[in-house]
Amino acid sequence: MSTKRQLGASGGDASDSGSGSGSGRDKAPKREVTDRCSNEWIPNVVGSLQTTHIPILSPNKNNASAYRSEQYMLGKKAFYSIKLQGVVDHDCVFIDVDIGKPGKMSDDQILLESQLLRRDDRFTEGEWIVGNVSIPLMNRILVPYTQAPLNMTPTQITYNVAISKIREVGLEAIVKLKGRWVCLKQPLQFREDVANVVEACCVLHNMCRLKNDEIDPEWVVDDYENDIVFPPIASSDPASQARDKIAEGLVAARAIL
């Protein structure tokens, strides 16, 4: 039931080669998410990665327990859910989504099973996507340092502050998506097309963002306090070295300002 899509400017599949606004966005120059982050600047960041729960009614399947998480609360009780993994750009526009994995699946499992890291046509060498501590540090994915703050160097702390500001862009996109399309906050009927419903909401969200149709602030409710955080799996050495170099460069750039 999982859906893996690249979303273009008008919400269409970004892999489409025909003319139109969807392909036009692919050809447009990339702007970094860090355009939004004042002086906390990390170069070559093209997306903020977020994963969130979409509540569903109890699946009538033998593996229904996979969709139920005791850690995901709707009101005051555990609920069934599927997950939406999304990458958003500087405008809170979804450029890649993976929809439909069971709610119990960890964020790092979803990432590793998705097509995101295999899309060389979308993310080129040297570009980064920023995620949270529930996913591993790896090629193309930057995450915060996870040791206790008292054990961090000033360079690592500066880097984590910059990463948190970039992550806010992804969090903002999810909050606005659910604020505008309130059906994503209520249990959806579990059917084979439930992932298509969620994807349609992402497409319509993109269209609203690109038309500058702002959401009413009263619709926005931040529900992230209930999302699951899993321990990350081991980081790769090359990615760890690249992160250290980025952190050192960030501090050096700030010293010049």
At 8, the amino acid letter reads G
Instruction: Using the predicted structure, report yes or no on whether residue 66 has a pLDDT greater than 50.
Output: yes
pLDDT of residue 170: 92
SS3 209: helix
At 4, the amino acid letter reads K
Query: Using H for helix, E for strand and C for coil, what is the string for 48-91?
Result: EEEEEEEEECCCCCCCHHHHEEEEEEECCEEEEEEEEEEEECCC
Report the helix count and the strand count for the chain, using DSSP H and E: 5, 7
Q: What separation in angstroms does the CA of 75 have from each of 82, 112, 172, 186? A: 17, 30, 22, 11
pLDDT of residue 58: 76
* pLDDT digits 0-9 by tens, 79-120: 788 899 999 998 999 999 999 988 888 889 999 898 887 776
d(CA 19, CA 4): 22
Helix, strand, coil in percent for the chain, rounding step 5: 40, 20, 40
Are 55 and 186 spatial neighbours (Cβ–Cβ below 8 Å)? Answer: yes
Q: Is the pTM here over 0.85, yes or no?
A: no
Q: Kindly indicate the confidence band of residue 60, based on its pLDDT and cuts at 50, 70 and 90.
A: low
In this structure, the chain runs to a length of 257
- Sign, CA dihedral 180-184-187-192, equals positive
d(CA 189, CA 9): 28
DSSP state letters, 190-248: --TTHHHHHHHHHHHHHHHHHTT-PPPGGG----GGG-------PPPHHHHHHHHHHHH
* pLDDT digits 0-9 by tens, 114-124: 888 777 666 77
Instruction: Using the predicted structure, report yes or no on whether residue 25 has a pLDDT greater than 50.
Output: no
